[in-house]
C-alpha cells in the first residue's frame, strides 16, 4: 500500500478494504480533513495536513463518540531521503527468507540517503480516549525549510512538554506554544540531536559560563588526550 506523495493532493482512498469501527466514526466526523488513513498492525492512523491539525484534534477531542481526551505522545519522525515512509508490502518478510537486507558496514555511522522530494518530517500524535478506550495515531508532514506546525497544547495541556521535547529533539517549531524552550538540552545546544543528519558522535562546543563571576578567567582547560586506546587500532 504505497503512500502517494503528499504534495500531490492525495485522494482519501482507503488502502485497506474495510475501515474499522473507530476509523469509520472518525472518517464520518473529520473525513474531509483526512488525507489518508491506514490500519497497520492493528493501529489506526490518519494523515492530516499540517494546517488542519488543530481543527482535526479539536473535533476528535470534542465529539462525544470519539472523545480523545488524552494526548499520550507527540513526537516526530525524520524521513530524511525516505519520502514516503516505509510502507512496502510486509508479506515479503513472510514469504521468503531471501529478503535479508544488507546493512551498512559500520554500526555507528548512519547512512545518509539523498533528500527526497516530499516533506522531511512527520509529526506524530498518539491519542487515547479514556472513556471509549480507543486509540488513534495522527501523522502530519512538515517540510524541512519551514518546520512549523500549530500547537495542540491549548487542547491538551499535556502536549506542552511533549511539544517542547519535539522542538528540542527535531527542531520543529510549534506555532502558538506558550513556552517553547528546550526541555532536555541546554539552550545553547547547537542542532537537534534526533535529526538523522545529526551524527551520533558529534561533539558540542563548550559554552562559556555567563553568570556572576564570569569575568574571572576560567580554570584553564586541561588538554586531556585520554589513555592510549590500543583496542581501537589494528596492529600492523
Partner 1 sequence: MAARVVKVVRPAPTTKQWLPILIGLGVASAHFFRNLFGFIRGRQDFTVNFPEQRFVQPPAMRGMPVLVQMANGKERCVACGLCEWACPTSCITIFPAETAAEVERFPEVFDIDMARCMFCGLCEEACPEEAIVMSRQVEISSYSRRGSLWRKQDLLVPEAELKPRLDYLRAQYARK
Partner 2 sequence: MPDRNAKTLNDPIDSAMRPRAEASPSQLDPGLDAPPMRLQFGPSHPATHGTVRIVLDLDGEQIVDADVQIGYLHRGFEKECETGYYYQNIPYTDRLNYSSAILCNTAYCMTVEKLLGITTPERCDFIRVIGGELSRMADHMLCVGSSAMELAAFTPFLYLLEARELVLDQIDALCGARITTNAIRIGGVISDLPAGFREFATAKLDRAAKLIDDAHKILTDNIVFRRRMEGTGYISPQDLIAHGVTGPMLRAGGVALDLRRTQPYLVYPQLDFDIPIGEHSDNFDRYLVRLEEIRQSRRMVLQCLEKIPAGPVNVDDPRIRWPGKNHVFGRMEELIDQFKLVTEGGLFPPGEVYFALEATNGEFGFYLVSDGTGKPYKCRLRSPSFSNLSPLGRALIGRQLADVVPSFGMTNMIGGECDR
Binding site for partner 2 (CB under 8 A): 40-43, 45, 69-73, 75, 77-78, 82, 85-88, 90, 92-93, 97, 99-101, 103, 107-108, 110, 124, 126, 128, 130, 133, 135, 137, 156-162, 165, 169, 179, 181-187, 193-194, 198, 200, 208, 210-212, 214
CB 49 within 8 A of CB 149: no
The yes or no reply on residue 230 touching partner 1 (CB under 8 A) is: yes
Looking at the Cβ atoms of 41 and 107, the one nearer to partner 1 is: 107
- Annotate each residue in 49-88 with x if it binds partner 1 (CB under 8 A) or - if it does not, as one string: ----------------------------------------
Reduce the secondary structure of 119-130 to three states and give it as a string: CCEEEEEEEECC
The least CB distance from residue 66 to partner 2, in Å, is 15
DSSP 149-201: EE--TTT-TTHHHHHHHHHHHH--EEET-TT---SSS-TT--S-TTSTTS-TT
Which of 97, 101, 108, 215 is close enough to bind partner 1 by CB under 8 A? 108
Looking at the Cβ atoms of 212 and 220, the one nearer to partner 2 is: 212
229 to each of 64, 145, 203, 234, how far by Cα in Å?
Answer: 63, 42, 19, 11
The yes or no reply on residue 200 touching partner 1 (CB under 8 A) is: no
* Binding partner at 208 among partner 2, partner 1, none, C-beta below 5 to 8 Å by kind: partner 2
CB 136 within 8 A of CB 73: no
**E strands of the chain, at which residues?**
34-40, 43-48, 70-78, 121-128, 135-142, 148-150, 173-175
Which of 101, 107, 200, 219 is close enough to bind partner 1 by CB under 8 A? 107
Q: What are the residues binding partner 1 (CB under 8 A)?
A: 107-108, 226-228, 230-232, 234-235
Amino acid at each position: 500500500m504505497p503512500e502517494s506523495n503528499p504534495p500531490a493532493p492525495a485522494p482519501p482512498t482507503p488502502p485497506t478494504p474495510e475501515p474499522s469501527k473507530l476509523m469509520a466514526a472518525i472518517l464520518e466526523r473529520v473525513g474531509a480533513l483526512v488525507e489518508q488513513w491506514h490500519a497497520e498492525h492493528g493501529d489506526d492512523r490518519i494523515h492530516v495536513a499540517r494546517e488542519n491539525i488543530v481543527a482535526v484534534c479539536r473535533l476528535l477531542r470534542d465529539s462525544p463518540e470519539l472523545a480523545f481526551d488524552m494526548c499520550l505522545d507527540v513526537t516526530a519522525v525524520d524521513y530524511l531521503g525516505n519520502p514516503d515512509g516505509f510502507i512496502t508490502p510486509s508479506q515479503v518478510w513472510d514469504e521468503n527468507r531471501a529478503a535479508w537486507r544488507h546493512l551498512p558496514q559500520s554500526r555507528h555511522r548512519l547512512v545518509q540517503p539523498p533528500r527526497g522530494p516530499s516533506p522531511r518530517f512527520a509529526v506524530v500524535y498518539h491519542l487515547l480516549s479514556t472513556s471509549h478506550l480507543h486509540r488513534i495515531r495522527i501523522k502530519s508532514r512538515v517540510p524541512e525549510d519551514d518546520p512549523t506546525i500549530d500547537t495542540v497544547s491549548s487542547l491538551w495541556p499535556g502536549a506542552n512538554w511533549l511539544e517542547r521535547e519535539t522542538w528540542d529533539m527535531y527542531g520543529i517549531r510549534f506555532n502558538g506554544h506558550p513556552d517553547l524552550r528546550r526541555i532536555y538540552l541546554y539552550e545553547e545546544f547547537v542542532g537537534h540531536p534526533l535529526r538523522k543528519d545529526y551524527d551520533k558522535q558529534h561533539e558540542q562546543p563548550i559554552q562559556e559560563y555567563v553568570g556572576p563571576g564570569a569575568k574571572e578567567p576560567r580554570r584553564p582547560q586541561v588538554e586531556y588526550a585520554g589513555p592510549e586506546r590500543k583496542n581501537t587500532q589494528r596492529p600492523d
